[in-house]
Amino acid sequence: MKRCGITFETLADFHDGRADAESAARVREHVDAGCTQCRETLAWIERAGGTMRDAARHPVPERLLDRMHAVYAERFRQPARRSLMAWLTFDGRATQMPAGARGTPGPAIQLNYSTEEHDVEIWEEPTAEGRWYVIGQVLPREGEGTLTPSEVSLTDRDGVTRLVAPAMPEVHLPSVAAGPYTMVFKLADANIVISDLVVGGGE
């Protein structure tokens, strides 16, 4: 059977009065010429519109709406993001030489943190301006390689947050003032939280 060249959208616009004069005249002439397919489609659009108008006159019970919303939320909800608290496993400040002993602003510091699933390595390097260059990376405890966080935040005790969106596994934060911070690595399925990161030699 040869398909009609009039689209469903064109017929719907004609039926609902949205078609421009030229398009409406073309559809009317086409239907009057005896196109059975378009007549049946227009009849179906009329019946469907009537059904929807009838349905609109009958309000859905609120309890049923609540149930439908609950089903939708359960089916399409985002998985809860876990927060994994990391604990300090190694502090290089305990074994380093006194600051400035080698003719530099101070020695670099290595800190290691862990969760049940990850190891986090932090390096703090002093700068000539008296601040610190902080580098960090997350490694899975099982398997090899590193993980690239989608975002890393560093928040000081006044609540000021510095955000970085790294393009590689190593996270670089230049020119950080010494002091205590909360550092959060945002991974695909979890946030790794270091709540007691001290940048610099401590207080």
**pTM listed for this prediction:** 0.57
Tell me: pLDDT of 101 over 60.
Answer: no
> Tokens 């608290």, residue?
85
In a 13 Å sphere around the CA of 129, the CA atoms on its Cβ side amount to 8
Q: Three-state secondary structure along 141-174?
A: CCCCCCECCCEEEEEECCCCEEEECCCCCCEEEE
Residue type, 114: S
Nearest alpha carbon to residue 132 among 123, 145, 144: 123
What value does the mean pLDDT take over residues 113-124?
Answer: 95
Burial degree of 73 (CB within 10 A; 0-12, 13-18, 19+)? exposed
- pLDDT value at position 3? 56
Q: What is the largest CA-CA distance in the chain?
A: 100
**Dist CA 186 CA 85 (whole Å):** 12
Tell me: pLDDT of 110 over 90.
Answer: yes
